[in-house]
Amino acid sequence: MTIDKAAYSGMNRRDFVAVAAASVAAILLPRSLAATSLAEFNQQHNTIEMKERDMATITLKNGTQIYYKDWGPKNAQPIAFHHGWPLSSDDWDAQMLFFLANGYRVVAHDRRGHGRSSQVDTGHDMDHYASDASAVFEHLDLRNAIHVGHSTGGGEVARYVANYGEPQGRVAKAVLIAAVPPLMVKTEKNPDGTPIEVFDGFRKALAANRAQFFLDVPSGPFYGFNRPGAQASQGVIENWWRQGMTGSALAHYEGIKAFSETDQTDDLKAITVPTLVMQGDDDQIVPYRDASLLQAKLVKNATLKVYKGFPHGMATTHADVINADLLAFIKS
């Protein structure tokens, strides 16, 4: 067989492979059969790709697609991870790999408007977050599950467990890591909360230059890299930026209201399953005195662990410690 190099000039790799395959098929098979086989192959290949994509998402009744990961033995006890703002399920890499290696089934989804889920223009509130999560877990039929939520994901866990998980009998335990409940913003009933001006500043910075804002947050307070002597990880910073910029600016903008102004006192009071409350006392994003200390008082069956000097993103910066404590709690 002689190859005409000029015919292949300017082709990308995918085009080259397709043409090469056609050439080989033309030599080895009768002309009509070769054409039919290649057409069938392409059709089957595209169908497989569509099925693989469909397996990674569920489509809600309103057309919103929620992306999820589901790793490990389907008969193993499931651990479901709920990510923080403005990130995605990728933020749980260190935990998902750890618990997968320990024999658990691990599941995580991208919240609507975040990561690989639909960038819809509605529903960026805690009610929809919990409802979307419930749809994923019902689709996967998760039972006897441990639900772990970080920051905004902790609020999602609280609302999900209170309104869906426990009533449906699907939840065994819950974990709140540096979580936002019961209420972040300062009000007359919550005088120790964070002033609304702080969250207005978040909105202003996001609208003005989201890309820069999403570098400033992980470079500074989120992981405590702004503390004297802290060793910043450029990879961690860029991974935070990557996850944030993958999502929707609108979802992130409206999500600030969701995580800061949603009163979840009743959600916490409704939770009865064993709950581990974890937070660092150097959390510069969610003040622990107005978060984990109150969560431990409001949840009926709570265990509190406060980590000296740990930042808001401690599940990443101190994954070895957090993973070990999570495993001990799950096995207890």
CA dihedral for 149, 88, 180, 250, sign (positive or negative): negative
Instruction: List Cβ neighbours of 287 (8 Å cut-off, separation of 6 or more).
Output: 192, 194
Which tokens sit at 163? Answer: 């309104």
Q: How far is CA 279 from the centre of its chain?
A: 18
Q: How far is CA 45 from the centre of its chain?
A: 30
Bridge partners, 57 (sequence order): 67
**Integer Cα distance of 66 and 109 in angstroms:** 7
Residues forming the active site: 151, 283, 312
CB-CB contact of 128 with 235 (8 Å):
no
**Distance spanning both ends of the chain, measured CA to CA:** 68
CB-CB contact of 131 with 165 (8 Å):
no
Going by the DSSP 8-state scheme, the letter that residue 77 receives in this structure is P
**Integer Cα distance of 113 and 124 in angstroms:** 8
**Integer Cα distance of 329 and 175 in angstroms:** 9
